[in-house]
Structure 1
Amino acid sequence: MARISQKYFFITALVVVFFDQVSKFLFQQIVAPGEAKVIIPGFFKLVHVWNPGVAFGFFGNHPAWAKYLLMAVNLIAALGLYFLAKDKPKQVQFSAGLVAGGAIGNFIDRVCHGQVFDFLDFHIGPYHWPAFNLADSAITMGVLGLILIFSREDKLK
């Protein structure tokens, strides 16, 4: 049997997609559109928000064709990360898998709903971070991991 040289990439991406989609489904049942459930007053609440744009709602008022461009970017990013992770150490595969899984999770939302479901909402006093989801968190953690890994690339050899 051939060795799968990207097994950590595939496992990580699949786990992220699974938990992202399950969490989105569950929180759509828990929080009604336009509703917010305060979990930690003054800090964290669950919301029901549909994001037609990209990260943090940028380009939310895009023309209709831009949705397809965003979907293509998601797929190209996931495919590119697959090749980046090929035959690399497991920490590179894991970080790339986080980003690819997040991109695929949000891609699924765009295909099924035309936009991405966000439900995590953090704020401290007047300072508010835009709502996001598990896919966004995985992308952020994966990118930070890749930056850290490649900034210390001499340690990979």
Structure 2
Amino acid sequence: MYYIVIIAAVMLDQLVKYAVRSNMDLYETIPVIDGIFHITYIQNTGAAFSMFSGHTGVLALITAIITIGILVYLHKLKKTTHWLMLMSLSLIVAGGVGNIADRIFLKYVVDFLDLRIWPIFNLADVYVCCGCGLLILYIFFVEPKLKGQKDV
């Protein structure tokens, strides 16, 4: 099931990025809620907040190594671990794969979600952040309960 989540999330990410690339000019912005949320097409050759711009190959390699490591870990744990941990790892992998695909095939990451007070980002970034948020919930709330059950 978690592989389906990963595949579906990556497909949605890539489909939306393709729609943005195909229908918008670079730096074009479309207000959804004027002054609060816009769709703004940019090409990010760096990592988060455009750090390390121009180092697309190195960023793709680092992201690929981390993503493969998480995917292997996910595969090993899939039958013995709580669903929240598996879902968090699945979202992190999906986000990593979505942005790796951009870096490999386009040499940049398509960013378009513009909250006007935050750097522009994309769905893959949302997946990674949500996955990390779920992982934090798992570590602080679920894992202690599971350890308590094992001690009994």
The correspondence for 2:110, drawn from 100, 108, 117, is 117
Amino acid at match of 2:29: A
Tell me the distance in 1 between the aligned counterparts of 2:112 and 2:39: 5
- Runs of 4+, deviation exceeding 6 Å: none
Partner of 1:140: 129
Would the aligned equivalents of 1:31 and 1:37 in 2 still touch at CA under 8 Å?
A: no
Tell me the distance in 1 between the aligned counterparts of 2:71 and 2:140: 20
Partner of 1:42: 35
Deviations along 1:41-86, one digit per CA (max 9) or x if unpaired, are 11011111000000121111x4xxx322211121122122123332
* Unaligned runs of at least 5 residues, structure 1: 1-6
User: Scaled by the length of structure 2, what TM-score is found?
Assistant: 0.86
Give secondary structure in 1 for the equivalent of 2:35: coil
Tell me the distance in 2 between the aligned counterparts of 1:143 and 1:73: 18
Give the C-alpha shift of residue 135 in structure 1: 0.2
Give secondary structure in 2 for the equivalent of 1:48: strand
* Unaligned runs of at least 5 residues, structure 2: 148-152
Partner of 1:33: 26
Partner of 1:154: 144
Give the C-alpha shift of residue 32 in structure 1: 1.4
Tell me the distance in 2 between the aligned counterparts of 1:89 and 1:148: 12
Alignment of 1:91-102 (within 5 A): 91-102=84-95
Tell me the distance in 2 between the aligned counterparts of 1:147 and 1:132: 21
Would the aligned equivalents of 1:31 and 1:46 in 2 still touch at CA under 8 Å?
A: no
User: Scaled by the length of structure 1, what TM-score is found?
Assistant: 0.84
Give secondary structure in 2 for the equivalent of 1:12: helix
Would the aligned equivalents of 2:57 and 2:104 in 1 still touch at CA under 8 Å?
A: no
Q: Percent identity at matched positions?
A: 32
Deviations along 1:20-46, one digit per CA (max 9) or x if unpaired, are 000001112232112111111110111
Partner of 1:12: 5
Amino acid at match of 1:114: K
Task: Give the CA RMSD over aligned residues.
Answer: 1.5
Aligned residues: 142
Tell me the distance in 2 between the aligned counterparts of 1:91 and 1:39: 32
